[in-house]
């Protein structure tokens, strides 16, 4: 037989459980169990059962209440636990396996000894928290216990929740932390530590604007309700986010506040350390190949005329920047001089000035110790002419380059060499792995078929999947099957973040077409609107093979000669939705 205090007061025997009815013996049992293995004074028990205004017969009534409780034990087969009458009061004995409160505290103490193994500590704390079964003592009618004991127990649980979230953030499992933090911050709006964790988790999952909005909400609450400013830790966190620092497992060095391809834009701020990528999944073959090439020992002999170059290309939203940033972190030991991110476009998608880029590259090459190798990530390159002038200086400093671009940049590879990784949509397994990583195994594995359908509705595009998971994280109670119906009604409109409209599939593709120019943009719309799944030059005299090759080079068409070209279904849906608007815009021009 097991007593459960961490919820309604319950007697449990294996899978059978009896929630005790509200009564004075139930209050007495709760008061004794809350102080198990210690003597509880008769005076305290009387106050717990009858409140501060006790009847004159309270002492005799307590003895009667003890007798009724012993009879209740007999009725439910409780034989291993006795209520002892001792001088001054009563005592009940219990152990971690017979009382959930003692089991919880025992697990928490064990977790402390595992601090050198964060995974083990996290697992132990989660086991401890799993003993909590809902609102405390809802069937125990005692003002004294709810005033004096319940807040203390809730605080014990809260400390463990905070520690669990600390460990999840430390391990980079920010998506899991968000699920717990959304409810915890609303239940404890005055707890600044929980808000700090929530804001950090939002920022590290690529939701900078939402993180700042949450900070402003907390700040307003503290001022309006308590008349105080946010804590120094919260204020420092806001400053780190505004500066775009790479928080990682702590507040690290300043970094350029760069949105990866999943976030849909680059910054116009200068070069900075490469940010980490939370919940990175998939691209195992590409990752292994890039790491092997970037860490391979240099060939003996003369210095190479061009730097070691790896090009990651593909359509918008396919995860080019995320892969480049992830690999940059994996090869950090091979580049002790630093790993620097250089954004090559402005927020509006236009190419940055070549003078500014050259100055930033020069600064990055000089930032590390003399003779130490430096890795540069040239992010979102518009054309080969942006890159060529930078390569001699990088080669002279024994540096290496990862270039990301929507364009194929075949001319750059032809003249300066390098390796090319052309990314396509995720496989079904990769999409499912991303959902598992961000949403958590418990939620996804409960509805695997719905998870696969959601991935297909997103076209297995990493950017679309990231938006979907961000929305689902803010609705932890929403079933995935319900999300399938909701998203399937209008994927293009609903693959957007309502608090950050610029982070959407439509905004990303609008920018991609604007970067093409009117002639290629019109040709792409013609190809995407054509019937069937493929398109060949003979299908329309207005679209030549040269134009089709240019669209394929820009990542908007797949395959090509000798077979037909294909348009991804997500891009085809976009054209069907936006074609009338593009026509009106063209007519105005």
Dump pLDDT digits (tens) for 88-117. 899 999 999 999 999 999 999 999 888 888
pLDDT at 250 over 50: no
Residue 571 lies in a domain: yes
Question: Structural domain tally of the chain?
Answer: 5
Count the neighbouring beta carbons within 10 Å of the beta carbon of residue 14: 7
Residues 280 and 414 in one domain: yes
Query: Do the beta carbons of residue 169 and residue 198 sit within 8 Å?
Result: no
Q: CB under 8 Å to 547, separation ≥6 — which residues?
A: 519, 520, 523
Q: What's the CA gap between 536 and 544, in Å, rounded?
A: 9
| C-alpha count within 13 angstroms, C-beta hemisphere, residue 510 | 15
* Coil, strand or helix at 227: coil
Lowest mean pLDDT, pick from 170-184, 203-217, 253-267, 376-390: 253-267
Mean pLDDT score of the chain, rounded to an integer?
82
Query: Rounded to two decimals, what is the model's pTM?
Result: 0.55
Please report, rounded to a whole number, the percentage of residues in the chain having pLDDT higher than 90: 25
Q: CB under 8 Å to 258, separation ≥6 — which residues?
A: 244, 266, 267, 269, 272, 275, 321, 341, 343, 379
Residues 182 and 114 in one domain: no
Residue 512 lies in a domain: no
The residue count of the chain comes to 589
Predicted pLDDT at 308: 85
Predicted pLDDT at 453: 93
Pairing assessment for the beta strands 2-4 and 400-405 based on DSSP bridges: unpaired
pLDDT at 255 over 50: no
Q: Rg of the Cα trace of the chain? A: 31
Pairing assessment for the beta strands 83-86 and 89-92 based on DSSP bridges: antiparallel
Question: What sign has the CA pseudo-torsion 474, 455, 433, 503?
Answer: negative
pLDDT at 312 over 90: yes
Which of the four pLDDT bands, split at 50, 70 and 90, describes residue 560? low
Predicted pLDDT at 588: 43
Residues 10 and 157 in one domain: yes
Query: Do the beta carbons of residue 310 and residue 293 sit within 8 Å?
Result: yes
Residue at which a domain ends, from 474, 506, 538: 506
Which of the four pLDDT bands, split at 50, 70 and 90, describes residue 416? confident
Please report, rounded to a whole number, the percentage of residues in the chain having pLDDT higher than 70: 88
Which of the four pLDDT bands, split at 50, 70 and 90, describes residue 305? low
Residue 140 lies in a domain: yes
Query: Do the beta carbons of residue 274 and residue 343 sit within 8 Å?
Result: no
pLDDT at 365 over 60: yes
**Domain around 18:** 1-170
Lowest mean pLDDT, pick from 152-166, 307-321, 440-454, 491-505: 491-505
pLDDT at 539 over 80: no
E-state strands within 365-418:
375-381, 400-405
Dump pLDDT digits (tens) for 468-490. 888 888 777 789 999 999 888 88
Predicted pLDDT at 367: 66
Q: CB under 8 Å to 424, separation ≥6 — which residues?
A: 314, 318, 558
Predicted pLDDT at 369: 64
| C-alpha count within 13 angstroms, C-beta hemisphere, residue 563 | 7
Predicted pLDDT at 288: 92
Dump pLDDT digits (tens) for 71-88. 888 888 887 778 888 888
Residue 511 lies in a domain: no
Residues 280 and 150 in one domain: no
Q: Which residue has the higher pLDDT, 538 or 48?
A: 48
Q: What is the CATH number of the domain that holds 79?
A: 1.10.10.10
Peptide bond into 375 cis (omega under 30): no
Residues 491 and 522 in one domain: no
Which of the four pLDDT bands, split at 50, 70 and 90, describes residue 289? very high
Q: What is the mean pLDDT of residues 164-168?
A: 91
Lowest mean pLDDT, pick from 293-307, 313-327, 344-358, 467-481: 293-307
Predicted pLDDT at 470: 82
Residues 243 and 201 in one domain: yes
Q: What is the CATH number of the domain that holds 326?
A: 3.40.50.300
Residues 239 and 287 in one domain: no
Tokens of 447: 């509805």
Which of the four pLDDT bands, split at 50, 70 and 90, describes residue 370? low
Residues 270 and 370 in one domain: yes
Query: Do the beta carbons of residue 438 and residue 204 sit within 8 Å?
Result: no
Q: What is the CATH number of the domain that holds 211?
A: 1.25.40.10
Q: What's the CA gap between 144 and 44, in Å, rounded?
A: 9
Q: Distances in Å between the alpha carbon of 507 and those of 50, 346, 570? A: 65, 15, 13
Q: What is the mean pLDDT of residues 114-143?
A: 89
Residues 54 and 136 in one domain: yes
Q: What is the mean pLDDT of residues 347-352?
A: 78
Residue at which a domain ends, from 381, 396, 422: 422
Predicted pLDDT at 408: 85
Which of the four pLDDT bands, split at 50, 70 and 90, describes residue 402? very high
pLDDT at 449 over 90: yes
pLDDT at 248 over 80: no
Residue 543 lies in a domain: yes
Query: Do the beta carbons of residue 70 and residue 29 sit within 8 Å?
Result: no
Q: What's the CA gap between 128 and 108, in Å, rounded?
A: 7
Residues 17 and 149 in one domain: yes
Which of the four pLDDT bands, split at 50, 70 and 90, describes residue 271? low
Nearest to 97 by CA among 80, 114, 109: 80
Task: Please give the DSSP secondary-structure letter assigned to residue 296.
Answer: S
Q: What is the mean pLDDT of residues 410-427?
A: 88
pLDDT at 267 over 80: no
Residues 275 and 410 in one domain: yes
Predicted pLDDT at 251: 34
E-state strands within 398-484:
400-405, 419-422
Task: Please give the DSSP secondary-structure letter assigned to residue 222.
Answer: I
Residue 566 lies in a domain: yes
Residue at which a domain ends, from 422, 448, 470: 422
Number of H helices and E strands in the chain, helices first, is 27, 17
- Angle, vertex CA 89, rays to CA 87 and CA 95, nearest 5: 105
Residue 163 lies in a domain: yes
Residues 286 and 418 in one domain: yes
């Amino acid at each position: 037989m097991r007593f459960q205090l961490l919820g309604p007061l319950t007697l449990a025997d294996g899978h059978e459980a009896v929630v005790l009815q509200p009564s004075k013996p139930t209050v007495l049992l709760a008061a004794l169990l809350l102080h198990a293995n210690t003597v509880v004074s008769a005076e305290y028990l009387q106050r717990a059962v009858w409140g501060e205004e006790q009847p004159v017969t309270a002492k005799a009534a307590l003895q009667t209440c003890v007798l009724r409780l012993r009879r209740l034990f007999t009725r439910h087969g409780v034989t291993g636990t006795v209520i002892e009458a001792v001088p001054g009061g009563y005592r009940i004995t219990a152990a971690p396996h017979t009382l959930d409160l003692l089991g919880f505290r025992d697990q928490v103490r064990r977790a402390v000894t595992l601090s050198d193994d964060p995974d083990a500590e996290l697992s132990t704390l989660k086991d401890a928290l799993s003993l909590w079964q809902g609102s405390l003592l809802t069937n125990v009618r005692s003002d004294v216990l709810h005033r004096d004991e319940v807040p203390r127990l809730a605080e014990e649980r809260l400390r463990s929740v905070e520690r669990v979230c600390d460990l999840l953030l430390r391990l980079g499992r920010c998506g899991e932390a968000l699920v717990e933090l959304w409810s915890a911050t609303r239940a404890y709006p005055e707890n600044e530590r929980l808000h700090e964790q929530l804001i950090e988790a939002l920022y590290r999952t690529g939701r900078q604007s939402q993180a700042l909005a949450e900070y402003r909400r907390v700040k307003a609450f503290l001022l309006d309700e308590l008349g105080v400013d946010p804590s120094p830790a919260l204020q420092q966190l806001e400053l780190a986010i505004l500066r775009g620092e790479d928080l990682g497992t702590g507040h690290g060095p300043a970094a350029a506040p760069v949105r990866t391809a999943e976030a849909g834009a680059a910054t116009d701020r200068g070069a900075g350390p490469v940010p980490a990528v939370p919940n990175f999944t998939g691209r195992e073959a590409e990752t292994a190949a890039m790491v092997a090439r970037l860490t391979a020992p240099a060939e003996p002999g003369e210095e190479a005329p061009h730097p070691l170059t790896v090009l990651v290309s593909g359509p918008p939203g396919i995860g080019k920047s995320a892969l480049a940033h992830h690999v940059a972190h994996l090869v950090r030991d091979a580049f002790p001089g630093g790993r620097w991110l250089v954004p090559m476009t402005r927020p509006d998608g236009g190419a940055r000035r070549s003078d500014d880029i050259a100055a930033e590259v020069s600064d990055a090459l000089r930032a590390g110790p003399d003779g130490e190798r430096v890795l540069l990530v040239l992010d979102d390159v518009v054309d080969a002419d942006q890159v060529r002038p930078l390569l001699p200086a990088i080669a002279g400093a024994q540096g290496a380059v990862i270039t990301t671009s929507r364009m194929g940049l075949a001319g750059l590879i032809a003249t300066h060499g390098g390796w090319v990784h052309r990314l396509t949509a995720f496989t079904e397994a990769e999409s499912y792995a991303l959902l598992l990583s961000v949403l958590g195994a418990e939620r996804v594995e409960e509805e695997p078929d719905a998870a696969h359908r959601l991935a297909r509705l997103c076209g297995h595009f990493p950017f679309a999947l990231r938006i979907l998971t961000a929305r689902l994280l803010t609705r932890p109670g929403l079933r995935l099957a319900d999300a399938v119906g909701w998203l399937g009604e209008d994927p293009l409109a609903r693959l957007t973040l309502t608090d950050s409209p610029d982070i959407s599939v439509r905004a990303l593709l609008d920018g991609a077409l604007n970067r093409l120019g009117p002639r290629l943009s019109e040709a792409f719309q013609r190809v995407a609107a054509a019937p069937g799944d493929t398109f060949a030059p003979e299908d329309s005299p207005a679209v030549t093979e040269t134009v089709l090759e240019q669209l394929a080079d820009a990542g908007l068409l797949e395959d090509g000669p000798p077979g037909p070209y294909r348009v991804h279904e997500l891009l085809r849906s976009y054209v069907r939705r936006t074609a009338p608007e593009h026509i009106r815009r063209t007519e105005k021009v």
